Chain A
C-alpha cells in the first residue's frame, strides 16, 4: 500500500500536470485498498489544500488551481458517484457571488467542495443582498459562502450577515475573494464568521464547521 503522504504529493502533481489518467490511476489504486471516504479525505482534499497553499505562496497560478479543482470534481463524479460526505449530514450549504459578476472564485470553491463530497447549492452571481438573504432563509441554509471581487460588494456582506442573523442566528457566513485577501481586516468589518483565502481554505472551514456541528 502506498503511504498516504506519497500519494497526496503524487496526486497533487498529477492534478497540476492535468494528467487525468494518472489521477484516475492513483485514485483507483487507493480505492482498491480503502474506502471512498479515505480517498476524499486523505488524498483529494489534502492535495487540493497543498495546491491552494502553493497559490498563496506564489508558486502556483490561479488557472492551475481552477483546473485542479475541475479535474478532482470530474474524478469524484466518475469514481465516487454516490459518495457524499458523512460530515455534511443534513447541513445545507450554499454559495453565491454578491452583487458583482466575477464568478471564477465561486466556481473554484464549488469544485473543491464537491471534490470533498459536499453538496452545494449555487445561487449564481450578480445577486443582490435581499435576494441572497431571502434564498438563504427560504432554503434554511446552514453555511452560506459569499464570494466578492469588488470592495463595494464586500462591504454589503454586512447587510447579508445582519439580515440573515435576525432570522437565523445559527447560520454561518463565510466570505472569500480578492478584497478580503488584500485587506485582511475587511471580513471582520462585515461581521462574517470566517474568511477563506482560497478554495481549499473554504473546504477546511466547512470541514471544521461540520465537525463542530455548527449551523445546525
Chain B
C-alpha cells in the first residue's frame, strides 16, 4: 500500500496496512541542505526538495509545499521576519486602521508572485510523487487570517467593536480563501488543510465562532472543490467536535491538551483525527520516550482507522533533534501495523 492509499483508507475509517503519519518538520530540510530557513523558503525548488527529503527520511505519508503561515501576509503586501532557528513571523500589520478594510484588495491568485511560487512548487511536487503520496494544500481561515492582517489585539477589538467592518473583512477573506484553496487543488493538492486556530474555544468565544467561524467554514465547504481538514494548531477541539463534524470536515487536529481517547470515542466513523504528539515536549524526549508517546497515541486512537499520527501544532520546532523524529518514525513502523493486537494488553 502506498502513502496515498494508506491515507485514503484511514480517512474512510478503515484500517490500512499501518497507521499513516506526518511529521510536520517543515523547516528541518533547511538544516540538512545546509542553508538558512530564509534561503530554504526563498525558492520553490528548495521546498520541493525538502518535502521529498521528508518523505524519504521520515516516511511522511502526506507532503505539502505550503511554507509557513506568515507567507500569506507577504502575498497581501506585507513583510515576513525570518529567524535562524524558528518559524518566520508576520511583520507589521497590513491593516493598520480598521477603516482600511473597506479599501484593501486581496491578492490575485493568478498573478501574485508569492502565491504563484507555492503553486509552482505544489505542481512540481505532485509531478515527483505522482499518486504515491498525497499532497496537501493549506489555507489560513477567514476567521484566523486577520490575526496577521491586523495584529491580534486590534483584531479582537474589531470583532467586538466594529461588527460592520468585521463582516466586510470576513467576506473579503472568504473570497480570497476560496480562490487560493481551489488554485492549490488545481495545482495538484488532493485536500486542503483549513488552518483555523481561532475556531478553537481555547482562543475564541462560542458566540464569535458561531457567528463568523462556522459561517465562513460552511461557505467555503461548498465553494472549495475538494475535501478539507480542520486544524486548530494546539487549540482544544473536544468541546466543539460535533460542530466540526457537522460543518463537513473530513478530519480535525487533535490537541495535546485534549483527551485523545475521548476524541476517538466521539470521532468513530465521523471524522479522522490528526495528532496529537506534543512537539514542544519532543525536544527533550529520549528515543524510548518517543516510542512510549507514539504507542500511547496509537493505543488511544488508531483502532479502526480514522487516525493520522502527527504533532499537535502542525509544525515541529526547528530545535527538535532529528534523532527524535527518526525515533517517532521507527516507533510507528514498529507498533503501527494493523491489526494492533498489542493494544488489548496496553495500559493506557
Give me the interface of A with B, judged by CB distance under 8 Å: 18, 58, 61-64, 66-67, 99-104, 107, 126, 150-153, 155, 178-179, 182-183, 185-186
Contact, CB under 8 Å: A102 / B89: yes
Listed stretches B59-67, B153-161, B321-329, B340-348; interface member:
B153-161
9 closest A-B pairs by beta carbon, nearest first, are A152-B86, A104-B152, A183-B280, A151-B317, A101-B89, A182-B280, A152-B85, A61-B205, A150-B86
C-alpha spacing A169/B308, complex, angstroms: 49
Interface residues, chain B, with chain A CB atoms under 8 Å away: 81, 83, 85-87, 89-91, 151-153, 156, 159-160, 201-206, 208, 234, 236, 239, 256-257, 278, 280-281, 283-284, 317-319
Asked if A101 contacts B234 (CB within 8 A), the reply is: no
- Of chain A, the residue at the smallest CB distance from B89 is A101
Contact A58 B83 (CB under 8 A): no
B319 touches A62 (CB 8 A): no
* Contact (Cβ within 8 A) B85 A182: no
CA distance A182 to B312 in the complex (A): 11
B144 to chain A, nearest CB (A): 12
Q: Which residues of A contact B202 (CB under 8 A)?
A: 58, 61-62
Cα(A107)–Cα(B234), bound, Å: 21
User: Do the beta carbons of A107 and B278 come within 8 Å of each other?
Assistant: no
Q: How far is the CB of A51 from chain B (nearest CB, A)?
A: 12
A and B contact pairs by CB, cutoff 8 A, 16 listed:
A58-B239, A61-B202, A61-B203, A63-B156, A66-B156, A101-B81, A101-B90, A103-B153, A104-B156, A150-B89, A150-B317, A151-B283, A152-B86, A152-B317, A152-B318, A182-B234
Are A103 and B280 neighbours in the complex by a CB distance under 8 Å?
no
**Considering the chains assembled together, what is the distance between the CA atoms of A63 and B283 in angstroms?**
29
A58 touches B201 (CB 8 A): yes
Q: How far is the CA of A102 from the CA of B204 in the complex (A)?
A: 16
**Cβ contact of B236, chosen from A58, A102, A107, cutoff 8 A:** A58
Which A residues are CB-close (under 8 A) to B205?
Answer: 61, 63-64
Taking A61-B202, A61-B206, A66-B156 as known contacts, 11 extra A-B pairs with beta carbons closer than 8 A to each other, sorted by chain A number, are A58-B201, A58-B202, A58-B236, A63-B204, A101-B81, A101-B90, A150-B317, A152-B317, A179-B280, A182-B256, A183-B283
**Chain A residues, Cβ within 8 Å of B159:** 63
Distance (Å) between the CB of A149 and the closest chain B CB? Answer: 9
Contacts of A62 in B (CB 8 A): 202-204
Closest residue to A61 on the B side, CB-wise? B205
Known contacts A102-B89, A155-B319: A61-B160 contact under CB 8 Å: no
- Please name all residues of chain A whose beta carbon is closer than 8 Å to the beta carbon of B278 when the two chains form the complex: 182-183
Residues of A within 8 A of B204 (CB): 61-63
Looking at A63, A152, A186, the one whose CB has the most chain B CB atoms below 10 A away is A63
Residue of B nearest to A99 (CB): B83
With A and B bound together, what is the CA distance between A186 and B317 in angstroms? Answer: 14
Minimum distance in angstroms from A127 CB to a CB of chain B = 13
Docked complex Cα distance between A100 and B91 (Å) = 10
Which residues does chain B contribute within 8 Å of A155, judged by CB atoms? Answer: 319
Partner of B280, one of A99, A104, A186: A186
Cα A152 to Cα B151 in complex, Å, equals 21
CA distance A182 to B86 in the complex (A): 17
Assess whether B236 is in contact with A182, with CB atoms less than 8 Å apart: no
Q: Which of A103, A126, A153, A186 contacts B152 (CB 8 A)?
A: A103
Taking the nearest CB of chain B, how far is it from the CB of A161, in angstroms? 18
Are A61 and B201 in contact (CB-based, < 8 A)?
A: yes
A66 surroundings in chain B (CB, below 8 A): 153, 156
* Complex: chain B residue closest to A153, CB-CB: B86
Compute how far the CA of A182 lies from the CA of B281 in the bound complex, rounded to whole angstroms. 7
Which of chain B's residues has its CB closest to A189's CB? B284
CA distance A62 to B319 in the complex (A): 27
Q: Which of the residues A150, A182, A185 comes within 8 Å of B87, measured between beta carbons?
A: A150
Do A185 and B317 touch across chains, with their CB atoms under 8 A apart? no
Closest to B206 in A: A61
Does A178 lie within 8 Å of B153, measured CB to CB? no
Task: Verify B83–A152 contact, CB threshold 8 A.
Answer: yes
In the complex the two chains form, what is the Cα distance from A182 to B156 in whole Å?
Answer: 24
Complex Cα spacing A63 to B256, Å: 21
A100 contacts B89, C-beta separation under 8 Å:
yes
Decide: B160 and A67 in contact? CB cutoff 8 A: yes
When distances are taken between beta carbons in the complex, the residues of chain A under 8 Å from B156 are 63, 66-67, 104
Are A101 and B91 in contact, CB atoms less than 8 angstroms apart?
Answer: yes
Q: Which B residues lie within 8 Å of A101 (CB)?
A: 81, 89-91
* Distance from A142 Cβ to chain B, minimum over Cβ atoms (Å): 26
Cα distance, A179 to B236, chains bound together (Å): 16
